[in-house]
Amino acid sequence: MSAALFRSSTISEDQEYSKFFGHVSNQIRIFTFPRSMSLSPTINAVDLSAMNSLGLACKAERVTDLNDLSQLPALSALACLSAPVVVLGGGSNLVLPARLERLVVRVQLKGIDLVEQRPDAWIVDVAAGENWHDFVTNSIRRGWDGLENLALIPGTVGAAPVQNIGAYGVELDSRIESVTAWHIPESRLVTFKREACGFKYRDSMFKRAGLGQWLIVRVRFCLPRPWQPVVGYPDVLRHPALAGTTPEAIRAQQIYDAVCDIRRTKLPDPAVLGNAGSFFKNPVVSESEFNALKLRFADIVSYPQADGSFKLAAGWLIERCGWKGKRQGRVGVHARQALVLVNYGQATASELLDLAAAIKQSVLKAFGVVLEIEPVLVSDAGD
Ligand SMILES: Cc1cc2nc3c(=O)[nH]c(=O)nc-3n(C[C@H](O)[C@H](O)[C@H](O)COP(=O)(O)OP(=O)(O)OC[C@H]3O[C@@H](n4cnc5c(N)ncnc54)[C@H](O)[C@@H]3O)c2cc1C
């Protein structure tokens, strides 16, 4: 991240950072801290298998909790002495190694605040450690509509911008006003307007920067009013929760109910069968590549993009290569959703990645298309 990108301002010693959260109006703004609190005591030799949705066994040498923003400078001081830290949210988009010597920081920051009720939007601040689905549920209950299509995605609010979560026609970036993050190596708190976050499909500049660089502490949502339903997906539109409702009469609660029900039916529950949701991104190809594929595979599933390219359904490609429901030792491809790789129990990251490599190879051979892994691969060596 280039220093030229930053517009900086310094908070005077006796002013509290929290007072300034309401005053951020520039594209990017930096804060420094008046006071610093020490980190929570480090716990040694922690088994992370229950803290990652794939259920991979991982012994972490040192784990600490971040409960308060004033602990951030202490975190940076500790981080500069060792390899980059691993920031851990709900662990639902991570592939962990068997052993981690790197310091693991669990983000436990809490708080939800309605900042402003504008005629054109609800503006809501949410701390990074809040559970994503609980926040969505809470917001629909309070009438802050707009996140219903993203219901039941596991994980935390702070991780949601990292891969710009999306589902059923809504991408998170369309609901974000700004993201406030701590730059761990440089010990600085920065607020990025949405345009500065480099959001793309399942990607952002926070993900591209690599582990241990940015720790997101707060997300400011902008939920447009009047609310407009997004029901482009046939599964949602035809769901019984929307039955008999005209497009004008649809309510956010109905979409929320439909999305929750569809997800419960289609996706394995990580509490029952370890998984990280989609293991591969949907690949994007040019129009000419798509036309060539369409000639060979008339029923190929695709979604035209605004720039003329085509997004292909990775699940369809994998299924056509015969992987759906296949098991390879302690790992496998889910029987109902070919995009989801599962851990049948006691599997290691390398078993899972071997399976992923075999799938990638056969999709490349059959279609000439390169699949990219979606979850973050954590190594113990640093990135
Ligand atoms: C059953 C299932 C279904 C899923 N469905 C979807 C879906 O429909 N759409 C979708 O987009 N994703 C989906 N996912 C993926 C996952 O839920 C999201 O990526 C989620 O945002 C991850 O949140 P987390 O808190 O678990 O992050 P973690 O897995 O803990 O971390 C993921 C990455 O974010 C980083 N990170 C975590 N917290 C912070 C923070 N505060 N600051 C900076 N970096 C941080 C981590 O270091 C890591 O690099 C699904 C996963 C599962 C298991």
**Are 319 and 370 within one domain?**
yes
Token readout for 217 is 């502490």
- Domain termination site, one of 266, 286, 311: 266
Query: In whole angstroms, how far apart are CA 365 and each of 210, 218, 281, 314?
Result: 30, 43, 18, 14
Is the Cβ–Cβ distance between 75 and 105 less than 8 Å?
A: yes
Kindly state whether residue 135 falls inside one of the protein's structural domains: no
Is the Cβ–Cβ distance between 282 and 311 less than 8 Å?
A: yes
Residue 278 is a catalytic residue: yes
**Are 300 and 249 within one domain?**
no
Q: Report the alpha-carbon distance of residue 229 to residue 149 in Å, rounded.
A: 9
Q: Which ligand 1 atom sits closest to the C-alpha of 86?
A: 47
Is the Cβ–Cβ distance between 133 and 89 less than 8 Å?
A: no
**Are 289 and 342 within one domain?**
yes
One pLDDT digit (tens) per residue for the chain, 383 residues: 322 222 223 333 223 333 333 333 345 665 555 556 777 777 878 999 999 999 999 999 999 999 999 999 999 988 877 788 999 999 999 999 999 999 999 999 999 999 999 999 999 999 999 999 999 999 999 999 999 999 999 999 999 999 999 999 999 999 999 999 999 999 999 999 999 999 999 999 999 998 889 999 999 999 999 999 999 888 999 999 998 888 889 999 999 999 999 999 999 999 999 999 999 999 999 999 999 999 999 999 999 998 999 999 999 999 999 999 999 999 999 999 999 999 999 999 999 999 999 999 999 999 999 999 999 999 876 54
Sign of CA dihedral 326, 329, 334, 338: negative
Residue 97 CA to its chain's centroid (Å): 20
Residue 13 is a catalytic residue: no
**Residue 310 sits in a domain of what CATH number?**
3.90.78.10
Q: At 113, which helix (H) or strand (E)?
A: strand 112-118
Q: Is 129 in the pocket of ligand 1 (CB under 6 A)?
A: no
Q: Is 216 in the pocket of ligand 1 (CB under 6 A)?
A: yes
**Are 313 and 370 within one domain?**
yes
**Are 279 and 368 within one domain?**
yes
Domain that holds residue 316: 274-377
**Are 317 and 238 within one domain?**
no
**Are 334 and 288 within one domain?**
yes
- Mutate which of 53, 66, 85, 92 for ligand 1 pocket (most atoms within 8 A of beta carbon): 92
What spacing in Å lies between the alpha carbon of 45 and ligand 1's midpoint?
A: 24
Among the listed residues 202, 218, 220, 263, the single catalytic one is 202
Kindly state whether residue 123 falls inside one of the protein's structural domains: no
Residue 202 is a catalytic residue: yes
Domain count, the chain: 2
What spacing in Å lies between the alpha carbon of 156 and ligand 1's midpoint?
A: 7
Q: Report the alpha-carbon distance of residue 323 to residue 182 in Å, rounded.
A: 41
Among candidates 213, 220, 93, which has minimal Cα distance to 165? 93
What spacing in Å lies between the alpha carbon of 267 and ligand 1's midpoint?
A: 16
**Are 315 and 242 within one domain?**
no
Give, in degrees to the nearest 5, the angle at Cα 48 between 45 and 49. 130
